[in-house]
Amino acid sequence: MAGPLIGLIVPALLLLGNKTFGISGTLRQVCAACIPANISFFKYDWKKESWNLFFAAGIIIGGFIATYLLSNAGQVNINPHTTALLQQEGVKDFSGLLPQDIFSFSQLFTLRGFIFIVVGGFLVGFGTRYAVGCTSGHAIMGISSLQWPSLVATCCFMIGGFVMTWFILPYLLQL
């Protein structure tokens, strides 16, 4: 359901308000609004793009509603082959959307949890800034508006995902 809605939002934003879809710029807006530092990157008219803050807030509220009000209790149905592969690597708890063996507060203080949560979060943030946009901005908005840099960025995101999944993840799960 979300895919078609996002697909309809992109042309609606362009046609109705000449606005672009993307989420990574919202963090810059929040920092510009909340941090009174004298940093040139945050000195711009963030209020002009305040609609994006409401959009991001809607995503957060929608995620909360979906998780706490609309979700079914119990295990998430994933491919049995994937479950078997992850169990071989030591992941045993499939009771939520993310395996608690890796993504829980208690795991943050282990080497594996630190790498997945902190280092992974830093790399996502760095990559988003380096690519001048996130995966949703490039893959959905950039490609649909025929931007060559967005096509290159999306291909790099995909290649990075494949390399991570098939070559790096098995070693990280052994930690």
Percent of the chain past pLDDT 90, that is, above it, reads 16
Contacts of 59 (CB under 8 A, 6+ apart): 23
94 domain residue, yes or no: no
Whether residue 114 sits in one domain with residue 52:
no
Domain count, the chain: 2
Cα–Cα distances in Å, from 27 out to 4, 18, 33, 54, 134? Answer: 25, 21, 10, 12, 11
Whether residue 110 sits in one domain with residue 49:
no
Q: pLDDT confidence of 75, banded at 50, 70, 90?
A: low
Boundary of a domain, candidates 53, 71, 89: 71
Whether residue 53 sits in one domain with residue 2:
yes
Asked whether the beta carbons of 141 and 23 are under 8 A apart, the reply is no
20 domain residue, yes or no: yes
Pairwise pLDDT comparison (50 vs 158), residue with the higher score: 158
- What average pLDDT does this structure show over 87-94? 84
Whether residue 171 sits in one domain with residue 117:
yes
Range of the domain at 123: 102-175
- What average pLDDT does this structure show over 144-171? 91
- pLDDT for res 23: 81
The whole model's pTM is what?
Answer: 0.71
Whether residue 159 sits in one domain with residue 109:
yes
Judged against a pLDDT cut of 80, whether residue 95 lies above it is answered with no
122 domain residue, yes or no: yes
91 domain residue, yes or no: no
128 domain residue, yes or no: yes
What is the spatial distance between Cα 6 and Cα 146, in angstroms, rounded to a whole number?
17
Judged against a pLDDT cut of 80, whether residue 90 lies above it is answered with yes
132: Cα within 13 Å, side-chain hemisphere: 6
Boundary of a domain, candidates 27, 48, 71: 71
171 domain residue, yes or no: yes
